Amino acid sequence: MAYTFTTDLGLSLRSWFKSWPFIFSNGLAIYFLYPVILSILLSMGAVALIREVVNYVMELVRPLLKEVPLPADSGWEAWQAVLLDISTYAISFVLWIAAFYTFVKLSKYLILALMSPVMAILSERTEEILTGRKYPFRLQLFVRDVFRGIALAIRNLFMELAAGWALIAVQLALALVFAPAALILAPFVPLISFAIGSYFFGFSTLDYVFERRRMSIPTSIRTIRDMKGIAIGNGAIFNLLYFIPFVGVTLATVTCTVAAVLAIHEREKGISAR
- How far the first Cα of the chain sits from its last, in Å, is 6
Query: Residue 189: pLDDT band by 50, 70, 90 thresholds?
Result: confident
Share of the chain above pLDDT 70, in %: 82
- Radius of gyration of the chain, Cα coordinates, nearest whole angstrom: 24
Residue 94 covered by a domain:
no
> Quick check: 258 pLDDT over 60?
yes
The predicted model gives 27-40 an average pLDDT of 88
Query: Residue 257: pLDDT band by 50, 70, 90 thresholds?
Result: very high
Higher-pLDDT residue of 138 and 253 is 253
Residue 27 covered by a domain:
yes
Higher-pLDDT residue of 209 and 60 is 209
Higher-pLDDT residue of 33 and 178 is 33
Rounded Cα distance between 269 and 1, Å, is: 10
> Quick check: 13 pLDDT over 60?
yes
Residue 11 covered by a domain:
yes
> Quick check: 218 pLDDT over 80?
yes
Query: Residue 12: pLDDT band by 50, 70, 90 thresholds?
Result: very high
Residue 118 covered by a domain:
yes
Residue 89 covered by a domain:
no
> Quick check: 63 pLDDT over 60?
yes
Query: Mean pLDDT of all residues in the chain?
Result: 80
Residue 258 covered by a domain:
yes
> Quick check: 132 pLDDT over 90?
no
Rounded Cα distance between 148 and 210, Å, is: 11
> Quick check: 65 pLDDT over 80?
no
Rounded Cα distance between 236 and 250, Å, is: 15
Length in residues, the chain: 274
Residue 115 covered by a domain:
yes
Query: Residue 1: pLDDT band by 50, 70, 90 thresholds?
Result: low
The predicted model gives 79-89 an average pLDDT of 64
Higher-pLDDT residue of 169 and 177 is 169
Residue 17 covered by a domain:
yes
Query: Residue 236: pLDDT band by 50, 70, 90 thresholds?
Result: very high
Range of the domain at 208: 5-32+106-272
CB atoms within 10 A of CB 63: 8
pLDDT of the residue at 199 = 92
pTM: 0.77
pLDDT of the residue at 273 = 61
What does 60-100 look like in DSSP terms, one character per residue? Answer: HHHHHHHTS---S-HHHHHHHHHHHHHHHHHHHHHHHHHHH
Measured torsion, CA atoms of residues 113, 115, 120, 121, in degrees rounded to the nearest 10: 160
The predicted model gives 104-133 an average pLDDT of 83
User: How many structural domains is the chain composed of?
Assistant: 1
pLDDT of the residue at 135 = 77
Classify residue 68 by its DSSP letter: S
> Quick check: 261 pLDDT over 90?
yes
CB 115 within 8 A of CB 34: yes
**Least confident segment among 41-50, 61-70, 124-133:** 61-70
